[in-house]
Amino acid sequence: MSTLELKSIEKTFDQTRVIPGVDLQVKDGEFVVFVGPSGCGKSTLLRMIAGLDMPTSGDLLIDGQRVNDVGAADRGCAMVFQSYALYPHMTVYDNMAFGLENAKVPKAEIEQKVRSAAALLRLDQLLARKPTQLSGGQRQRVAIGRAIVRNPKIFLFDEPLSNLDAELRISMRSELRELHRRLRATMIYVTHDQVEAMTMADKIVVLRAGRIEQIGAPQVLYEKPCNTFVAGFIGSPRMNFLPAELVRACPALAAAVPAAAKQIGIRPEHWVPAPAGQGLALTVAGSEYLGAQRLVQARLPDQTPVELLLPGDRNDAPQDVIHMTADAGNVHAFDSNDQRL
Ligand SMILES: Nc1ncnc2c1ncn2[C@@H]1O[C@H](COP(=O)(O)OP(=O)(O)O)[C@@H](O)[C@H]1O
Ligand SMILES: [Mg+2]
């Protein structure tokens, strides 16, 4: 159980400033997800927290104590990698016990810890197997078990589900959430997948080019993204961005467009049919039938492409003109600097 604080953390590799400056506080027991595009510095941040990389400047605090000069082995962080990093010649039991044996933990205590972690992860029947005799999901659970037996202050996960197939990824998400609930541990989880971030996090940290763009609960990021980057990154299908002057000319939407607005954001799931002559006139280009919903591609009069997630029983055909609006609460306005108004 631990808190974590990053104060003006910077990281430069050679001449390149990969992390220009990050300030962050993580509360005891929080499940925090770092999300952002590939190369934005997620792994670098995590490695600095773990003690595998040194910050160029700034302070790292665990439970209020500065740990910059504390080695990785003594920081009390356990990291789980995408690649599992299991020893192929060792059994599941030995893979989980290895770190404790190195630390000269008494044998009986090791056995108790390994068996209890194995039970938690439903690996108890597999302790005698080698990694090659396990499925991808089971291997990842062994890697997580190896972290659990160390009883770390902070768990660090670096894209741990990326090598699993889609179905398994979804079930592992809820397993990890359940694990968090049971262990009540502080966890930091890195992913480039915004759906993973939305479904798992207590608190999401959105990163771009080594900077924090926004920190907030999933619902806050979805409902009130602070700029166009977060607005476009969080939510699937992606938010539509429309020229403000065009939306301002539409009677049903004009009141939702502030004077300083440059772009208007409307999510595909927020379009609703407008009364005749009141909405935006959209020309249908095509659609994908998804069952309960139909994802319609259309264009504004100025040819700006937009997507609409409409009820599945609609049968809009290419070249149809449909008139659409959105509730004022679902209309996002951004200024000329891409900031939310
Ligand atoms: N050891 C290193 N030496 C030089 N550049 C690095 C090193 N590690 C990472 N980088 C660079 O830092 C940036 C961030 O990398 P990384 O933290 O791995 O991103 P992410 O995990 O978000 O995909 C990338 O541009 C990457 O090329
Ligand atoms: Mg990475």
| pLDDT value of residue 162 | 87
Give the single-character DSSP code of 72: G
Q: Which residue has the higher pLDDT, 275 or 265?
A: 265
Per-residue confidence band for 276, with pLDDT thresholds at 50, 70 and 90: confident
| pLDDT value of residue 221 | 97
| pLDDT value of residue 233 | 96
1 pLDDT higher than 80: no
Give the single-character DSSP code of 255: G
Nearest-atom index, ligand 1, CA of 40: 22
Nearest-atom index, ligand 1, CA of 47: 17
**Strands, E, within 36-180: which ranges?**
57-62, 65-66, 77-81, 154-158
Nearest-atom index, ligand 1, CA of 53: 1
Average pLDDT over residues 283-299: 96
- Please, are residues 224 and 211 in contact by the beta-carbon 8 Å criterion? no
Question: Could you read off the pLDDT of 80-138 as tens digits, one per residue?
Answer: 988 888 999 999 999 999 999 988 999 999 999 999 999 988 899 999 999 999 998 89
Residue 236 tokens read as 């699937």
| pLDDT value of residue 167 | 85
Kindly report the backbone phi and psi dihedral angles of residue 129, in degrees, each rounded to the nearest multiple of 5, phi listed first.
-80, 160
Neighbouring C-alpha atoms within 13 Å toward the C-beta of 280: 29
- All residues at 6 or more sequence positions from 233 whose CB lies less than 8 Å from its CB, including other chains: 35, 36, 37, 194, 206
| pLDDT value of residue 175 | 87
| pTM confidence score | 0.93
**Cα 80 to middle of ligand 2, angstroms:** 12
C-alpha–C-alpha distance, residues 87 and 152, integer Å: 21
C-alpha–C-alpha distance, residues 18 and 14, integer Å: 10
Q: Which ligand ends up closest to the CA of 47?
A: 1
Residue 110 tokens read as 């090791």
CB within 6 Å of ligand 1 — which residues? 13, 18, 36, 38-44
Query: Is the C-alpha dihedral spanning 189, 194, 197, 202 positive or negative?
Result: positive
Q: Which ligand ends up closest to the CA of 54?
A: 1
For ligand 1, mutation pick of 13, 205, 211 (most atoms within 8 Å of CB): 13
Three-state DSSP class for 61? strand
Q: How many CB atoms lie within 10 A of CB 321?
A: 11
Sheet of 16-26, strands arranged across: 16-26, 4-13, 57-62, 65-66
Question: Could you read off the pLDDT of 213-230 as tens digits, one per residue?
Answer: 999 999 999 999 999 999
- Tell me the CA end-to-end span of the chain in Å, nearest whole number: 39
Query: Is the C-alpha dihedral spanning 138, 142, 144, 145 positive or negative?
Result: positive
Question: Could you read off the pLDDT of 229-245 as tens digits, one per residue?
Answer: 999 999 999 999 999 99
Q: How many CB atoms lie within 10 A of CB 13?
A: 11
The residue contributing the CA closest to ligand 1 atom 6 is 13
**Cα 202 to middle of ligand 1, angstroms:** 26
Average pLDDT over residues 149-156: 94
Q: How many CB atoms lie within 10 A of CB 167?
A: 9
33 pLDDT higher than 90: yes
Q: Give the DSSP H/E element, type plus range, for residue 321.
A: strand 321-325
Question: Could you read off the pLDDT of 158-188 as tens digits, one per residue?
Answer: 999 988 888 888 988 988 999 999 999 999 9
Identity of the residue numbered 156: L
- Please, are residues 86 and 73 in contact by the beta-carbon 8 Å criterion? no
For ligand 1, mutation pick of 34, 43, 44, 53 (most atoms within 8 Å of CB): 44
* Per-chain mean pLDDT for the chain: 95
Percent of the chain predicted with pLDDT > 70: 100
Name all domains of the chain by residue range, CATH numbers in brackets: 4-233 (3.40.50.300), 240-334 (2.40.50.140)
- Please, are residues 263 and 242 in contact by the beta-carbon 8 Å criterion? yes
Question: Could you read off the pLDDT of 50-84 as tens digits, one per residue?
Answer: 999 999 999 999 999 999 999 998 999 999 988 88
C-alpha–C-alpha distance, residues 162 and 310, integer Å: 31
Identify whether 225 is preceded by a cis peptide bond (ω within 30 of 0): no
330 pLDDT higher than 80: yes
Residue 66 CA from chain centroid, whole number: 27
C-alpha–C-alpha distance, residues 167 and 188, integer Å: 23
C-alpha–C-alpha distance, residues 56 and 48, integer Å: 10
